Amino acid sequence: MLTIHHLNNSRSQRVLWLLEELGVPYDVKRYERTKTMQAPDELKRIHPLGKSPVLTEDGRTIAETGAIVEYILTRHGGGRLMPAPGSDSYWDARHFLHYAEGSAMPVLFLMLMLQTIPERAPFYVRPILAAALGRVDRMYARPQLALHLDHWEQSLGTTGWFAGPELSVADIMMSFPVETAGKRVGYAERPHLRDFLLRIHDRQAYRQALKRGGPYAYA
């Protein structure tokens, strides 16, 4: 049986959603974050990095969401959720499959760190750290995020999906950056992103994946 090692409230939720869309049977092994939001050490027994998601099936262990998604599509997808190979939509899908973790998430992670570091610092250095890192946030991180958000909004503009006329792996991969950024900056001025979230939250498979994955702060 295919098993997803799933950390609560995490990007691993996407993999459960993908499996629900495909109707592939799977087990979920749930792990709870520690007080500092880290994965528990137990997860390092499954994969040395101790991050989630991790997939195990037939003695094989795969970490990294993009690789897991490619494995699932190759082994269980039967051509679904990937536009026709070689088409423009296909290359858009491959772009977003890599881009979601390779370029979009690092900016959001940076913003999270710029906020968290002062919050967790000893109180006597907090104001200095908050001022210095707040400046990095305003001068670098926020303009970078705006650049990415413009790319997403524009990409959704034609069909409402990230690659082609219907839901694909691109939308599933992009759902986590879109949800995370939405919580941070809101989409009042980005109607395509706002509608995208409404559309995916309405899907039966998305909702079923939430039931399997447990509480999720982004939906």
Ligand X SMILES: N[C@@H](CCC(=O)N[C@@H](CS)C(=O)NCC(=O)O)C(=O)O
Write out the residues near ligand X by the rule CB under 6 A.
7, 10-11, 38-39, 51-53, 64-65, 101
Q: Minimum distance from CB of 7 to ligand X (Å)?
A: 5
What tokens were used for 185? 């900056």
Q: Minimum distance from CB of 11 to ligand X (Å)?
A: 4
Q: State in Å, rounded, how far the first CA of the chain is from the last one.
A: 28
Alpha carbon 157 to chain centroid distance? Answer: 21
Distances in Å between the Cα of 173 and the Cα atoms of 5, 57, 88, 107 are 17, 21, 18, 16
Nearer to ligand X, 52 or 155 (CB): 52
Taking residue 94's Cβ as centre, other Cβ atoms within 10 Å add up to: 17
Give me the sign of the Cα torsion angle 145, 102, 199, 202: negative
Q: Minimum distance from CB of 10 to ligand X (Å)?
A: 3
Taking residue 22's Cβ as centre, other Cβ atoms within 10 Å add up to: 16
Nearer to ligand X, 53 or 83 (CB): 53
Nearer to ligand X, 38 or 116 (CB): 38
Nearer to ligand X, 68 or 190 (CB): 68
Q: Minimum distance from CB of 162 to ligand X (Å)?
A: 17
Taking residue 198's Cβ as centre, other Cβ atoms within 10 Å add up to: 9
Q: Minimum distance from CB of 48 to ligand X (Å)?
A: 13
What tokens were used for 18? 């993908």
Nearer to ligand X, 77 or 177 (CB): 177
